[in-house]
């Protein structure tokens, strides 16, 4: 089956109204706000060789000859209009996170439920994760995430770029998958608004770790690009981040849970550049679906661009959510109403607190499809955006009118169908997960720091499900990671506790209380590991690893 992208054919007239290319300044006559101008040259601008012109322009993507106009005087803009080397000038439009997205049902982390510790225990094959709030995540069942989880596959080599409000790495339930990010705002890389944290939680929250929520891709590489501090930024910043995600960080998939009303020529070029490198771009279609028809059916960008996968929102009952816009930009639907994920909230003193909450909006439907694109890349690294759209058309659970329709696109995302289509004979690969005894299991009490953050204290409870007493050895070690002279990671043990011949009564349990270990907060990371062995130093269950989150 061949599918041709045709999202922008009908918008050619609108494009002409908003941007007149080749030597004409484009003004937003529709009232759309903007901050200055962007200019694209046909070749490297000679004018920058003049000392007086050095500060007139600032490069966005120098290799593509795209600049912001820093001198907005009439004389300078007129000179650009006369320059035969200018391909176009357009407003530097304001871009926003989608409106009408609500966060409710906030569950704040406290010291008693792991506000400072994240569990990083080894992931083995599973279909029902043990995350505390998984029962709230109906979305995972709808898209068939458990089918993917059962194989326990490593997708670390698939890079996912999230261009949003910053790194969620300080949230204790998002630790394993977040790579060092890039800040374009001058406010630091960490997310202080919460939008990126919520999206990242859906996509890549630590999974099967006895806390919080489960992410679709428990093993992945997520690269955050911070372009928002609150709800708005400008197109020059987003375009710069987008090109970096493509060329510098070589992302395989890019998540854009953002919208803008105007057709931005520079962004179109950016999308085409990504597509030329087989990068799949996934974007939210917008949240004005419950407004009057003219607005509800209006196309928003970047979802409206050719070769971008546009994502709308589904309810629990697999209906289009009332907020989800409906038009030709909708390619596929994913859960987007009352989605439970990691979040940020503020206390009475305006301090940021890590939490979990429910969110509604197409922003939160988008990462489900981004994850599906990453899974497709896992099976076929060379899959193109057009081929991925074909895959979506073939594997989605059809909804609404025949074929692709404005309300549901090709239907509801189905990860199981994607996997079975890409690899019909797919079988789980041999797993290196540690041996897990059917007779023993553990519960790790929350680890709590003392006041000076120089040590931590934990309790471990061992359960024996047999009718005979069991004797085990428990080994707990704390260590820190730092870089050596060559930049390689080196582990240094900072303390250890050994409990030999711990007797666990038949059909009972044994508590190892108040295990105090020193930590070294000068390293890159401080961690502890817990091992349960038999007399021959053979593992009786999967080891647990915890990272100290300051």
Which residues are identified as catalytic?
Answer: 164, 195, 363
CA distances from 257 to 10, 18, 29, 537 (A): 24, 23, 26, 49
The answer to whether residues 296 and 271 touch, using CB atoms and an 8 Å cutoff, is: no
In a 13 Å sphere around the CA of 168, the CA atoms on its Cβ side amount to 36
**DSSP letter at 122?**
P
Calpha distance 148→416 (Å, rounded)? 7
Calpha distance 370→130 (Å, rounded)? 24
Calpha distance 273→266 (Å, rounded)? 11
Matching residue, tokens 């999202």: 7
- Tokens at residue 328, please? 């030709």
Q: 282 forms bridges with which residues in the sheet?
A: 255, 309
Matching residue, tokens 């550049």: 273
* Residue among 153, 205, 198 nearest 175 (CA): 205
The SS3 assignment for 105 reads strand
Matching residue, tokens 């006369």: 82
Indicate the helix (H) or strand (E) that contains 139: helix 138-142
Is residue 387 exposed (0-12), middle (13-18) or buried (19+ Cβ within 10 Å)?
middle
Matching residue, tokens 């279909």: 127
Instruction: Please report which residue ranges of 297-431 form alpha helices under DSSP H.
Output: 362-379, 385-395, 415-422
Calpha distance 506→415 (Å, rounded)? 43
The answer to whether residues 473 and 501 touch, using CB atoms and an 8 Å cutoff, is: yes
Give the pairing of strands 280-284 and 308-314: parallel
- Tokens at residue 36, please? 């200055």
The SS3 assignment for 342 reads strand
Calpha distance 375→153 (Å, rounded)? 10
Q: How many CB atoms lie within 10 A of CB 471?
A: 11
Give the phi and the psi of residue 62 in degrees, each rounded to 5. -60, -40
CA distances from 529 to 17, 125, 152, 255, 295 (A): 62, 21, 21, 34, 54
Residues comprising the chain, all counted: 550
Q: What angle do CA 412, 415, 420 make, to 5 degrees?
A: 120
- Tokens at residue 72, please? 């907005």
């Amino acid at each position: 089956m061949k599918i041709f992208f045709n999202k922008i054919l009908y918008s050619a007239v609108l494009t002409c109204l908003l941007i007149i290319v080749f030597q004409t300044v484009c003004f937003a006559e529709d009232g759309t706000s903007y901050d200055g101008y962007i200019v694209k040259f046909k070749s490297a601008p000679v004018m920058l060789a003049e000392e007086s012109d050095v500060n007139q322009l600032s490069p966005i993507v120098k290799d593509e000859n795209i600049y912001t106009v820093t001198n907005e005087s009439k004389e300078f803009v007129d000179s650009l209009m006369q320059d035969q080397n200018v391909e176009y000038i357009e407003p530097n439009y304001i871009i926003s996170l989608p409106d009408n997205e609500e966060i409710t049902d906030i569950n704040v982390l406290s010291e008693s439920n792991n506000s400072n510790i994240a569990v990083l225990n080894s992931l083995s094959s599973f279909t029902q994760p043990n995350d505390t709030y998984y029962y709230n995540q109906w979305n995972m069942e709808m898209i068939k995430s458990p089918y993917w989880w059962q194989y326990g596959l490593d997708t670390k080599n698939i890079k996912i770029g999230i261009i949003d409000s910053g790194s969620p790495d300080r949230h204790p339930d998002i630790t394993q998958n977040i790579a060092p990010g890039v800040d374009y705002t001058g406010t630091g890389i960490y997310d202080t608004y919460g939008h990126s944290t919520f999206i990242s939680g859906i996509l890549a929250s630590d999974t099967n770790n006895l806390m919080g929520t489960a992410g679709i891709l428990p093993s992945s590489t997520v690269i955050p690009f911070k372009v928002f501090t609150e709800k708005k930024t400008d197109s020059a910043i987003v375009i710069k981040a987008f090109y970096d995600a493509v060329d510098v960080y070589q992302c395989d998939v890019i998540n854009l849970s953002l919208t803008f009303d105007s057709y931005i020529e520079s962004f179109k070029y950016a999308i085409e550049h990504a597509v030329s490198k087989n990068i799949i771009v996934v974007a939210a279609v917008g949240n004005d679906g419950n407004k009057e028809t003219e607005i509800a059916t209006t196309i928003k960008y970047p979802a409206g661009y050719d070769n971008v996968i546009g994502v709308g929102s589904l309810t629990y009952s697999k209906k289009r959510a009332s907020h989800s816009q409906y038009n030709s930009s909708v390619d596929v639907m994913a859960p987007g109403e009352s989605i439970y994920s990691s979040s940020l909230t503020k206390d009475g003193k305006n301090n940021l607190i890590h939490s979990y909450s429910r969110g509604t909006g197409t922003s939160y439907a988008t990462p489900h499809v981004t994850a599906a694109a990453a899974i497709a890349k896992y099976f076929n690294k060379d899959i193109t955006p057009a081929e991925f759209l074909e895959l979506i058309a073939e594997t989605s659970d059809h909804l609404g009118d025949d074929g692709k329709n404005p309300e549901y696109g090709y239907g509801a995302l189905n990860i199981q169908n994607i996997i079975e289509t890409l690899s019909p004979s797919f079988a789980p690969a041999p797993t290196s997960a540690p041996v897990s005894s059917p007779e023993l299991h553990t519960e790790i009490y929350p680890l709590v720091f003392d006041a000076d953050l120089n040590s931590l204290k934990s309790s471990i409870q061992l359960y024996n499900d047999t009718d005979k007493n069991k004797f085990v050895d428990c080994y707990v070690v704390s260590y820190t990671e730092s870089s050596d002279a060559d930049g390689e990671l080196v582990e240094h043990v900072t303390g250890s506790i050994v409990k030999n011949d711990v007797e666990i009564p038949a059909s009972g349990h044994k508590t190892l209380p108040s295990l105090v270990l020193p930590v070294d907060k000068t390293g890159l990371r401080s961690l502890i590991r817990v091992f349960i062995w038999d007399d021959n130093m053979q593992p009786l269950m999967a080891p647990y690893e915890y990272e100290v989150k300051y």
